[in-house]
């Protein structure tokens, strides 16, 4: 028995030491990390990166909060970053150790959820807009009217993705309000628009890439990356940026407070801010990164893609949805519940 | 007289319902297998036959690592679960009825009753504390967790086998001065072997499948095939996921066939 205990203790001790120099544990969204990027990082630094997947912000948060997770870096979405900071789960970055920090594109440096980028480094970002098959509908597609006051040609052929915050806030912005509005007049208008438009929708479902590619749907509220893949398969598909306002999203890399491989983590954070490396991230997952100067290294089909490069006239309408709290979240949920009936 | 005996096959609509049930059960799987051979990257539009997704999955390091994890965990967990389940089945059948027997039965089968997400969250919290305290973050936690929820699946076939076995053989052995251990080793165990095999296979397959508990318990680099596939949801699925699923399915079917051939002889 004693020998067994000693053996167990030894086993525990040695495996505990396995997190030595030269390894890094990245906890990221599934299918979001370029294997070539990791191979290049290992070749340059000798550090082996292990990627573990998650599929929702909540699961990632719950696991890290429970402790003993063994991860060094995590990639939360913009509206979750303040929660991670508030709970003390991620640490402030020592910018002196990140010489490439200056490469962060100016528009991504002073973001509302992380002023001055003191906690997070850009990974990838995108937007929610409307994808329309222009062989079916030839009018203006840069408006939320596409799904809120459905044009005759698209009636019964348009899908709406079942993402509560995106959809309700698109309607609120179309009604002239701000995201997370508590103005009941605006909310009433948004609710009426959604309820009136719903009979014209074919479905509220995911899977737009496929269904737009094979012409099952003529239009859908959709993400930009998915729309680009649909366009490559089915050229008449185009992506509209609603001029009344549309949601942006960004996932950023943060250093966990209880990271065990802090030096390796800093090396990795600095590495992904090199334009050439940031372009590798984009080339794999097909979303834009936030690093200035990465454009020349992007794959040809992304360099000029209208879904990836936001045309200047629509840039101002993009907003990051804040974490709606209290009353506004109650209103959003109430409207959404009514819409589901 | 035999003509009048009740037989479900003679009920009206039997064939229709049976065929309907089989179609519902197998059509999605057939679709999944079919599209794993698709030449394009669509999972709903046929573009010709190709092996490319199998080759891609085979060359994918993440898939290889996840497969290794899945197999290590499933084999270890099935071994532990089967040993525990065999002991438990012997303890609950090969002795006189005693107080609290039902309670023990419930305790053993607890993982079948408690919703998986509850177990997952509970393990997340407990293992979180243990991991911090011990500094050990290896596969041991996943193996233990899997062994726990696989035990009832191994237990049920073993117990069923024990209950169906003729007790007089064991009684005869003891009458002929076999020690309890000899009786077990030379009489009970050989007769029980098919039950143990069935239990082990069931435990193995259940462990291979698990998503919820694994997702919550895993540490860095411990993605299994199931959690890896779940992670792909973030982006569009490609037939690579179909290819991995088909391979898993093929492995399971082969295992079941092997099991069937093994047990058929003994019976």
Q: Does A62 sit within 8 Å of B42, measured CB to CB?
A: no
Q: Do B128 and A66 touch (CB under 8 A)?
A: yes
Is residue A53 predicted with pLDDT exceeding 60? yes
Across the range A112-121, mean pLDDT stands at 92
What's the pLDDT at A168?
A: 94
Contacts of B221 in chain A (CB under 8 A): 25, 50-52
A53 to chain B, minimum CA–CA distance in Å? 6
The structure's pTM equals 0.79
Number of H helices, E strands in chain A: 14, 10
Task: Please count the residue pairs, one from chain A and one from chain B, whose beta carbons lie less than 8 angstroms apart.
Answer: 105
Predicted confidence (pLDDT) per residue in B153-172, tens digit:
999 999 988 988 888 888 89
- Which chain B residues touch A27 with a CB distance below 8 Å? 220
Confidence grade of residue B266 (pLDDT, cut at 50, 70, 90): low
Q: What is the pLDDT of residues B170-179, one digit of tens each?
A: 889 889 998 9
- pLDDT in the model for residue A21: 54
Please, are residues A151 and A139 in contact by the beta-carbon 8 Å criterion?
Answer: yes
Is residue A338 scored above 90 in pLDDT?
yes
Q: Give me the pLDDT at residue B132, please.
A: 84
| pLDDT for A4 beyond 50 | no
Does position A11 have pLDDT exceeding 50, yes or no?
no
What CA–CA distance (Å, rounded) separates B139 from B221?
A: 10
Q: Which residue in A331, A15, A219 sits closest to B135, CA to CA?
A: A15
Output phi, psi for B129, to 5 deg.
-65, -45
Q: How high is the pLDDT of residue B2?
A: 52
pLDDT score at B120: 92
- CB within 8 Å of chain A, chain B residues 43-102: 43-45, 61-62
Is the minimum CB–CB distance between A39 and chain B shorter than 8 Å?
no
Q: Residue A251: is its pLDDT beyond 70?
A: yes
Indicate the pLDDT class of residue B235, thresholds 50, 70 and 90.
low
pLDDT, greater one: B258 or A209: A209
Residue B3 contacts A where some CB pair is shorter than 8 Å: no
Among A323-332, B145-154, B175-184, name the one with the lowest average pLDDT.
Answer: A323-332
Question: Do residues B56 and B243 make contact, with C-beta atoms less than 8 angstroms apart?
Answer: yes
Q: For the residues A226-235, what does the mean pLDDT come to?
A: 90
At A273-286, the pLDDT tens digits run 999 999 999 998 88
- Please compute the mean of the pLDDT values over residues A99-108 and round it to a whole number: 93
**Three-class secondary structure of residue B74 per DSSP:** helix
pLDDT score of A292: 92
pLDDT of residue B234: 61
CA atoms within 13 A of residue A166's CA, in its CB half-sphere? 21
CB within 8 A of A260, min separation 6: which ones? A19, A25, A70, A72
* A70 contacts in chain B (CB < 8 Å): 131, 137, 219-220
CATH architecture of A20-124+249-303: 3-Layer(aba) Sandwich (3.40)
Contact A69 B219 (CB under 8 A): yes
Percent of chain B topping pLDDT 70: 94
Predicted local confidence at residue A209, as pLDDT: 85
Q: Is the pLDDT of residue A235 over 90?
A: yes
A10 in contact with chain B, both atoms CB, cutoff 8 A: no
Q: Which fold has domain A126-248+310-340?
A: D-Maltodextrin-Binding Protein; domain 2 (3.40.190)
Binned at pLDDT 50, 70 and 90, residue B95 comes out as confident
Instruction: Identify the band that residue B103 occupies on the pLDDT scale cut at 50, 70 and 90.
Output: confident
Mean pLDDT (chain B, rounded): 86
Each residue's pLDDT tens digit, A294-328: 999 999 888 888 998 888 889 889 998 887 878 88
Query: How is chain A split into domains, by residue range?
Result: 20-124+249-303, 126-248+310-340
pLDDT, position B259: 72
Compute φ and ψ for A111, nearest 5 degrees: -85, 150
CB contact under 8 A, B42 and A12: no
Identical fold for domains A20-124+249-303 and A126-248+310-340, yes or no, is yes
Quick check: B31 contacting A, CB < 8 Å?
no
Of B62, B220, B236, Cβ closest to residue A70: B220
Instruction: Inform me whether the C-beta atom of residue B139 falls under 8 Å from chain A C-beta atoms.
Output: no
Domain boundaries, chain B: 62-266
* pLDDT exceeds cutoff 80 at B1: no
A21 versus A236: which is more confidently predicted? A236
Q: Is the pLDDT of residue A38 over 90?
A: yes
* Confidence at B265, pLDDT banded by 50, 70, 90: low
Nearest by CB to A66, which of B125, B232, B235?
Answer: B125
Tell me the backbone φ, ψ of residue B195, rounded to 5 degrees: -65, -45
Contact yes or no for A53 and B136 at CB 8 A: no
pLDDT confidence of B263, banded at 50, 70, 90?
A: low
Q: What is the CATH number of domain B62-266?
A: 1.10.3720.10
Q: How far is CA B87 from CA A112, A309, B111, B112, B188, in A?
A: 60, 64, 18, 19, 12
Report the residue from B62, B124, B233 with minimal CB separation from A66. Answer: B124
How do residues A176-204 score in pLDDT, each as one tens digit?
999 988 999 999 999 999 999 999 999 99
Does the structure show a pLDDT above 80 at A92?
A: yes
């Amino acid at each position: 028995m004693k020998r067994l205990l000693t053996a167990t203790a030894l086993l525990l001790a040695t495996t505990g030491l396995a997190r030595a120099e030269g390894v890094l544990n990245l906890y990221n969204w599934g299918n979001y990390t370029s294997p070539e990027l990791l191979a290049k990082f290992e070749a340059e630094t000798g550090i082996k990166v292990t990627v573990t997947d998650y599929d929702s912000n909540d699961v990632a948060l719950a696991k890290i909060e429970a402790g003993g997770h063994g991860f060094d870096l995590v990639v939360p979405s913009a509206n979750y970053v303040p929660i991670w900071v508030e709970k003390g789960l991620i640490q402030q970055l020592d910018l002196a150790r990140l010489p490439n920090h200056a490469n962060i594109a100016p528009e991504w440096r002073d973001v509302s959820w992380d002023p001055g980028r003191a906690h997070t480094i850009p990974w990838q970002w995108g937007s929610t807009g409307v994808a329309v098959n222009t062989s079916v509908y030839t009018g203006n597609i840069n408006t939320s009217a596409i799904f809120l006051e459905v044009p005759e040609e698209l009636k019964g052929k348009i899908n709406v993705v079942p993402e509560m915050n995106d959809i309700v806030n698109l309607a609120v912005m179309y009604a002239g309000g701000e995201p997370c509005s508590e103005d009941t007049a605006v909310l009433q208008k948004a609710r009426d628009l959604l309820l009136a438009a719903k009979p014209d929708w074919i479905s509220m479902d995911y899977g737009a890439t496929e269904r737009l590619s094979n012409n099952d749907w003529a239009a859908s509220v959709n993400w930009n990356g998915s729309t680009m893949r649909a366009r490559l398969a089915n050229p008449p598909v185009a992506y509209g940026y609603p001029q009344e306002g549309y949601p942006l999203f960004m996932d950023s890399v943060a250093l966990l407070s209880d990271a065990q491989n802090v030096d390796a983590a800093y090396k990795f954070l600095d590495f992904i801010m090199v334009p050439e490396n940031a372009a590798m991230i984009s080339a794999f997952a097909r979303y834009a990164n936030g690093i200035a100067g990465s454009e020349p290294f992007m794959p040809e089909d992304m360099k000029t893609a209208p879904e990836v490069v936001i045309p200047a006239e629509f840039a101002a309408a993009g907003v990051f949805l804040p974490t709606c709290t209290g009353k506004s979240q109650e209103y959003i949920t109430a409207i959404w519940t009514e819409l589901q009936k | 007289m035999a003509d009048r005996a009740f037989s479900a096959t003679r009920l009206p609509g039997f064939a229709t319902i049976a065929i309907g049930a089989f179609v519902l059960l197998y059509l999605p799987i057939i679709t999944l297998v079919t599209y794993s051979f698709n030449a394009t990257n669509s999972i709903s539009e046929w573009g010709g036959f190709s092996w490319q997704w199998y080759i891609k999955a085979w060359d994918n390091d993440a898939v290889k690592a996840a497969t290794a994890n899945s197999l290590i965990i499933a084999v270890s967990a099935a071994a532990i679960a089967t040993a525990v389940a065999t002991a438990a089945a012997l303890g609950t059948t090969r002795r006189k009825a005693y107080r609290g027997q039902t309670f023990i039965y419930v305790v053993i089968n607890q993982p079948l009753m408690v919703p998986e997400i509850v177990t997952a969250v509970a393990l997340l919290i407990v293992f979180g504390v243990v991991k911090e305290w011990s500094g050990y973050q290896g596969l041991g936690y996943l193996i233990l967790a899997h062994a726990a929820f696989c035990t009832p699946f191994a237990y049920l076939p073993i117990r069923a086998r024990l209950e169906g076995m003729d007790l007089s053989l064991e009684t005869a052995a003891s009458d002929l001065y076999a020690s309890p251990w000899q009786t077990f080793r030379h009489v009970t165990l050989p007769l029980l072997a098919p039950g143990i095999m069935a239990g082990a296979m069931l435990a193995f397959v259940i462990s291979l499948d698990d998503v919820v508990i694994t997702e919550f318990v895993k540490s860095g680099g411990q993605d299994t095939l199931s959690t890896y596939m779940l992670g792909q949801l973030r982006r569009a699925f490609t037939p690579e996921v179909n290819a991995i699923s088909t391979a898993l399915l093929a492995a399971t079917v082969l295992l079941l066939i092997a099991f069937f051939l093994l047990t058929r002889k003994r019976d």
